[in-house]
């Protein structure tokens, strides 16, 4: 039986208003809203190499990152988060995408399980949000060793033994590069230990990787692992990590090294120190430096190592952790037959509430 007229609409409106009023009256389930934006200019210094086909990238202005995130709880045992926006690490930077999402059952304060789309616990640098690391960008090898914002099931724990010592762990079963997990997968175990020394943590991860590196319809086995330490205390920051991987797309051909057997290793070390100025307008000045090295074929004869040096400064701007970042990255070394890459200067303004 159908009821016509405006009466059903009035009833529906009253019911909807009542539900919204009840939800809003319970402040415990209202979400926390976070917003971040980062805009930057990118300038490149170098020369084209017409023999190899290398072209210096064009200078440009980009919206590096612009997102809105909601996090909260539904009652006592359900936790959620959702982030929408745009970022150049997930495309051209001009599309609105679902960046992250998660829904967890949390039976204890230190334990939760659920399904997420987002960053996975793989040490320090790969786990952090891209615009929140010390340098303007993560090391160049980051995406090669870990996919960006995968989707899957996770089991997480975070437990404090004392005021300074604790442990965090995450087991994740994630989809592959094509967005499915029937013939591809990314299975990761990550661990972080907060040591008794305040500010000092150590972390490591291992990934079992199944992906079609050859694009021939047959999945290939691979693995990733890494370990490192992080120190943040007294305005000082020190971080370093070493990565080892097997199973990458091989440019050498099967006669020299198949993709399934190709190995890489990489590492970075970085340091920073924030000088507090006491000014409300410019609260701190944080110079930093990072060295990175990437061996793109560690088990192939010859030199396949690329290295880079990054130096820059972050200038605090007023409140809400807004900052101006000036970041210069220059190549230090490359195999003899490779063209010399251009240096890159990034000037970024970013902030969030």
**SS3 sequence of the chain:** CCCCCCHHHHHHHHHHHHHHHHHHHCHHHCCEEEEEEEEEEEEEECCCECCCCECCCCCEEEEEEEEEEEEEEECCCEEEEEEEEEEHHHCCCCCCEEEEEEEEEEEECCEEEEEEECCCCCCCCCCCCHHHCCCCCCCCCHHHHCCCCCEEEEEEEEEECCCCCEEEEEEEEECCCCCCCCCCEEEEEEEEEECCCCCEEEEEEEEEEEECCCCCCCCEEEEEEEEEEEEEECCEEEEEEEEEEECCCCCCCCCCCCCCCCEEEEEEEEEEECEECCCCCCCEEEEEEEEEEEECCCCCCCCCEEEEEEEEEEEECCCCCCEEEEEEEEEEECCCCCCCCCEEEEEEEEEEC
* Residue 259 CA: distances (Å) to CA of 40, 98, 214, 263, 351: 36, 32, 7, 9, 41
Question: The tokens of 245 are what?
Answer: 């991987």
- Picking from 122, 144, 142, 141, the residue whose alpha carbon sits closest to that of residue 130 is 142
- Would you state the pLDDT for residue 53? 87
Distance of CA 136 to the CA centre of its chain: 12
**How far is 75 from 65, CA to CA, in rounded Å?**
32
Q: How far is residue 284's CA from residue 87's CA, in Å, rounded to a whole number?
A: 27
Tokens of 293: 């090295």
User: How far apart are the C-alpha atoms of 263 and 349, rounded to whole Å?
Assistant: 37
Q: Which residues contact 196 (CB under 8 A, 6 or more apart)?
A: 162, 164, 165
What's the CA gap between 89 and 133, in Å, rounded?
14
Q: What is the pLDDT of residue 147?
A: 87
pLDDT, one tens digit per residue, over 10-39 is 333 333 344 334 444 455 678 899 999 999
Residues of the chain with pLDDT under 70: 1-28, 93
pLDDT the model gives residue 197: 96
| Contact criterion met (CB below 8 Å) for 344 and 331 | no
d(CA 211, CA 260): 9
Q: pLDDT at position 292, please?
A: 98
What are 295's two structure tokens? 């061996």
Rounded Cα gap, residues 212 and 283, in angstroms: 49
The reported pLDDT for the residue numbered 26 is 56
């Amino acid at each position: 039986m159908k009821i016509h007229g405006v009466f059903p609409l009035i009833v529906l409106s009253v019911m909807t208003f009542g539900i919204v009023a009840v939800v809003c009256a319970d402040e415990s389930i209202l979400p926390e809203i976070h917003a971040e934006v980062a805009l930057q200019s990118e300038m490149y210094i170098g020369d084209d190499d017409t023999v190899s086909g290398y072209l210096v990238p064009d200078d440009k202005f980009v919206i590096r990152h612009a997102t809105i995130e909601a996090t909260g709880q539904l009652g006592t045992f359900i936790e959620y988060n959702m982030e929408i926006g745009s970022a150049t690490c997930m495309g051209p930077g001009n599309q609105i995408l679902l960046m992250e999402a998660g829904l967890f059952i949390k039976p204890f304060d230190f334990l939760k399980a659920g399904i997420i789309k987002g960053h996975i616990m793989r040490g320090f640098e790969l786990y952090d949000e891209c615009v929140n690391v010390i340098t303007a960008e993560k090391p160049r090898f980051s995406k090669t060793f870990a996919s960006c914002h995968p989707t899957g099931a996770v089991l997480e724990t975070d437990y404090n033994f004392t005021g300074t010592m604790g442990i965090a762990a995450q087991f994740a079963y994630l989809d592959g590069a094509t967005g499915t997990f029937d013939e591809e997968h990314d299975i990761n175990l990550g661990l972080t230990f907060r040591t008794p020394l305040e500010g000092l943590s150590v972390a490591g991860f291992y990934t079992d990787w199944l992906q079609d590196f050859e694009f021939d319809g047959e999945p290939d086995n691979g693995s990733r692992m890494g370990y490192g330490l992080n120190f943040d205390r007294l305005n000082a920051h020190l971080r370093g990590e070493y990565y080892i991987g097997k199973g990458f797309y091989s440019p050498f051909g099967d006669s020299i090294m198949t993709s399934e057997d190709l190995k890489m290793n990489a590492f970075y070390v970085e340091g920073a120190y924030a000088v507090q100025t006491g000014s409300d307008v410019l609260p701190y000045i944080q110079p930093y430096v990072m060295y990175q090295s990437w061996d793109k074929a560690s088990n192939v004869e010859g030199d396949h190592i690329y290295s880079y040096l990054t130096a820059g400064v972050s200038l605090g701007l007023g409140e809400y952790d807004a900052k101006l970042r000036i970041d210069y990255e220059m190549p230090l070394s490359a195999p003899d037959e490779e063209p010399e890459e251009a240096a890159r200067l990034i000037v970024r303004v970013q902030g969030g509430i």
